[in-house]
Amino acid sequence: MDSIVVTGNGPLHGQIPIAGAKNTCLKLMCAALMSDAPVTLTNVPRLSDVLTLSQLLESLGCTVTLSDEGRELTLHAPEITNRKAHYDIVRKLRASFNVLGPLLGRTGEAIVSLPGGCAIGARKVDLHLMALEKLGAEIELREGYVHARAPGGLTGTEIEFPMVSVGATENALCAAVVAKGRTVLRNVAKEPDTVALAHCLSAMGAKIEGAGTDTMEIEGVASLSGVRHAVIPDRIELGTYMIVPAIAGGEVELLGGERRLVGALIDKLEEAGVTVEDTDAGLKVSRGSNRVRAVDVVTAPFPGFPTDLQAQMMALMCTAEGSSVLEETIFENRFMHAPELIRMGAEIDVHGGTATVKGVGRLKGAPVMATDLRASVSLILAGLAAEGETVVNRVYHLDRGYERLEDKLSAVGAKVERIRT
């Protein structure tokens, strides 16, 4: 298993290009199952999750062709030859649960493995199932699989989600666009990934209003056409690399970065004393020799502070002047990076969903291990600001969500090396 060795070496300068968004790309790939014509995605990130989902889509009868050095993906499912998404893949990649709505919508039947728990929380799927039942599906849970059937097709209805769920909104949206009549979805996710899915479906002929607001209204259509669609920039990769100059000092320009994708992070970075400027090519982030100030953070659905940047922000707060409180409201178990940061000299107290971080200035390198994607990258960030060498183990998590991380960090002067063990 590979490890990444980071040696803190002071201020970093240069440019980092931001790739297409993982969580948008995966949802658009699932939606490609809804059309019998080719769907071509451009600005595709080169990530292992994209390859894993491709395998699942191929098992359902979709041909997947990568071109332009992995940046362009053409998905073509003239016919769905298999309606079962196997546990072996769904357990590796929770986003594959997003084939449920598209498969059910197109064929009237889907058998999709329950994803099971994961490192950051229980991650139930009750809201996905509630929404599909309201659209007329019969749902049964058998032997670890969701069996969903709607032999006569789905029918539009009104659905109010009791809490915001990105995945449940997206499964419901995909099913509703091909249901008979009008569907109103209330309290939906406003995440850019979900809005991008709505835009792609609209470009395929779906009739959707209100994407990006609390309520979406959908008028069902009989079928969807093919499309060529660009994946939006990855706001979590963007936010992660914005924290690089904040934690290590220096000035880094994030090529393709857009303020609207990371507004809540920018507010917090500016409050902490970090400068963020718009440039022609993206966003420029800089910090001089002053330490950052401690700021409090509460995670929330978009446009709030993303849970997927909480670990990275905690790494930054470990180096701040003063104490900060980070509250995680989306997932019940998303502080696994805290004990690893403590191994690097951080002072962190976790009580339930709240972590109090007392800034210590300089962290110290140590061997550390991470249990999920965002936790792993927070340890790399911490390593950039630490004295000595940090060895991050189990980096396969990183390859799921950050393409060429070592190259991107090396390009701004960081000492980051992958070792094969």
Report which residue's Cβ sits closest to ligand EPU: 167
Rg (CA), the chain: 21
Of residues 171 and 251, the one with the C-beta less far from ligand EPU: 171
Of residues 238 and 274, the one with the C-beta less far from ligand EPU: 238
Q: Is 118 a catalytic residue?
A: yes
| Closest separation in Å from C-beta 374 to ligand EPU | 5
Of residues 174 and 373, the one with the C-beta less far from ligand EPU: 373
Of residues 7 and 329, the one with the C-beta less far from ligand EPU: 329
What are 72's strand-pairing partners? 67
Of residues 134 and 374, the one with the C-beta less far from ligand EPU: 374
Of residues 308 and 403, the one with the C-beta less far from ligand EPU: 308
Q: Which of 30, 118, 174, 318 is catalytic?
A: 118
| Closest separation in Å from C-beta 243 to ligand EPU | 15
Of residues 186 and 207, the one with the C-beta less far from ligand EPU: 186
CA atoms of 170 and 172, how far apart (whole Å)? 5
HEC string of the chain equals: CEEEEEECCCCEEEEEECCECHHHHHHHHHHHHHECCCEEEECCCCCHHHHHHHHHHHHCCCEEEEEHHHCEEEEECCCCCCCEECHHHHCCCHHHHHHHHHHHHHHCEEEEECCCCECCECCCCHHHHHHHHHCCCEEEEECCEEEEECCCCCECCEEECCCCCHHHHHHHHHHHHCCECEEEEECCCCCHHHHHHHHHHHHCCCEEECCCCCEEEEECCCCECCEEEECCECHHHHHHHHHHHHHHCEEEEEECCCHHHCHHHHHHHHHCCCEEEECCCEEEEEECCCCCECCCEEECCCCCECHHHHHHHHHHHHCCECEEEEECCCCCCCCCHHHHHHHCCCEEEEECCEEEEECCCCEECCEEECCCHHHHHHHHHHHHCEECEEEEECCHHHHHHCCCHHHHHHCCCCEEEEEEC
Give the torsion sign (CA, 408, 409, 415, 419).
negative
| Closest separation in Å from C-beta 268 to ligand EPU | 17
| Closest separation in Å from C-beta 229 to ligand EPU | 17
| Closest separation in Å from C-beta 10 to ligand EPU | 29
Q: Which residues bind ligand EPU (CB under 6 A)?
A: 23, 26, 94-95, 121-128, 163, 165-168, 191, 193, 307-308, 330-331, 373-374, 401
| Closest separation in Å from C-beta 79 to ligand EPU | 26
| Closest separation in Å from C-beta 222 to ligand EPU | 28
Cite the active site residues: 118
